[in-house]
Amino acid sequence: MISACPICNVQVLTAELQWHANTHFEDDQLQTDMELARQIALTESTANPLDGPKECTNPLASDPHAQGASSSFSASSSCHASVLDEQISCLIGAQIRSNVQEIQGGIMNLLRSCLESEANSSTSIISGHVDHHQSLSSEDQGWGCGWRNIQMLSSHLLNQRPEAREALFGGAGFVPDIPSLQRWLEIAWDKNFDTLGSIHFHNKVYGVKQWIGTAECAALLRSFGLRARVVDFDSTESSSLHSKNGKHAPKQVQGPIDKFVTKNVSPKSTSSELCQEDAENMRGQQVLVDWVWNYFASKHSDKLGNSRRVVVSDKTPLYFQHQGHSRTIVGIQKQHGQCGNQDRYTLLILDPGHRTSDLERALRSKTGWQRLVKRGVHTLRKPQYQLCYVDPGIAGSEEREELKIIDGILHLNIYHLIFLRMEVMDIHCRLGMFFPAWRYMDWFLHYMVLVAEPGKTDLMSFI
């Protein structure tokens, strides 16, 4: 069967159409393809000569007073913008819809039904519509989980947020396949989103079986004007999130970061110290699940106080990253403690490593679905976790520029505030710097302000 290429109108075999269209985006062929497209357009009797790609020329070349580096820089910027616009235009027409298994009624409605049928005393908060995108052995098994989570997050944005539907993927209205997403990420890098990340990947991910993380997810979504945010839960001393052995690892993000710091475990710790460290790690895990609960519960406190077992939040799902794998958090369940026992939290997760058919079967039969979806606090054993979510609205041009720049925000929980303040007091004593007790209390209160209003206080100015 023969089909026409959407870029150059050349007749090719349908089985080779995707490969042929993708070759138009190769850097060494881009200009040739654009020239061919222009020639085809000019040969059509109904073609508008203004519709074709414009020649990249320096608008200041004819001005004898416009000389020097400024005019050269302007010409270079103009050329780059023109080529970038051509790439985007081609990608919008050539991108392919991701092949996702349709579930009648939607997987989130099936999950809601299962949660409502449970006998225990619990309250669950879940996202709205989300499609499950599974990794396929023939395409991305072993390396594509990050891309699948981007697809799941995108499925929610396209279905639940009209402004995002218009902005994402050139207004295509569907979730693209992985090769198309890889091209969109490269375009985001060309727009100077996450420049450090682009260097890490040598500015190329298309056609590469490479793990990605929350940084790439945030950069891709921010390039469309979406307010993607990243939260970092880190219990390691090093701030670097790149894996030394080349394995998949969370990495630092070019954009707003909320960083939760927990205490690191020394490899030479004694048994008693390890017990103390385990307690610290449990507190770190609790910080994460508390954050997730507060995230989904925001603006729904009035609904949580009644007898409703399941509440649907307007929040986006969470891209959930740790070393070795990533998944999508679509909600959280709180089991109410009885007889003075504490409440217990369970994350509700869609894993791209699971088969969609297995998920649907378990949820419809209400048998074995907990094993596939639920993850308790005790399962959070990794030293680093990162979450990516999207705030409502579309950023303007000025805000988009700000989203390209690192703007880290350090959040500390109460245990770390006390620990850090004790360390500062110890440093002061060793340096012979003694301050009255009220001064330390004043600093501590400032730390509390930092937690209550993150980003409005300079932490280091108090040390």
pLDDT in tens, 291-308: 999 999 987 776 776 667
> Closest Cα to residue 220, out of 239, 237, 240, 205?
205
Residue entry with tokens 């007889």:
339
Structure tokens at 61: 């070349």
> Closest Cα to residue 363, out of 104, 166, 157, 141?
104
Rounded to whole angstroms, the Cα distance separating 39 from 113 reads: 57
Regions of the chain where pLDDT drops below 70: 1-2, 6-8, 12-77, 235-283, 302, 305-307, 405-463
Confidence at residue 453, expressed as pLDDT on a 0 to 100 scale: 41
Give the count of alpha carbons within 13 A of 452, CB side only.
6
Domain residue extents for the chain = 2-47+73-94, 109-411, 414-462
Structure tokens at 108: 């989130």
| Report field, pTM of the whole predicted structure over 0.75 | no
Question: Where does residue 153 rank: exposed (0-12), middle (13-18), buried (19+ CB within 10 A)?
Answer: buried
Rounded to whole angstroms, the Cα distance separating 274 from 101 reads: 46
Give the count of alpha carbons within 13 A of 65, CB side only.
0
Q: Which residues pair with 391 in a beta bridge?
A: 227
> 109-411 in CATH: which number?
3.90.70.130
Distances from the Cα of 116 to the Cαs of 110, 111, 122, 366, 377, in angstroms?
Answer: 10, 9, 9, 11, 21
> Closest Cα to residue 156, out of 199, 136, 135, 127?
127
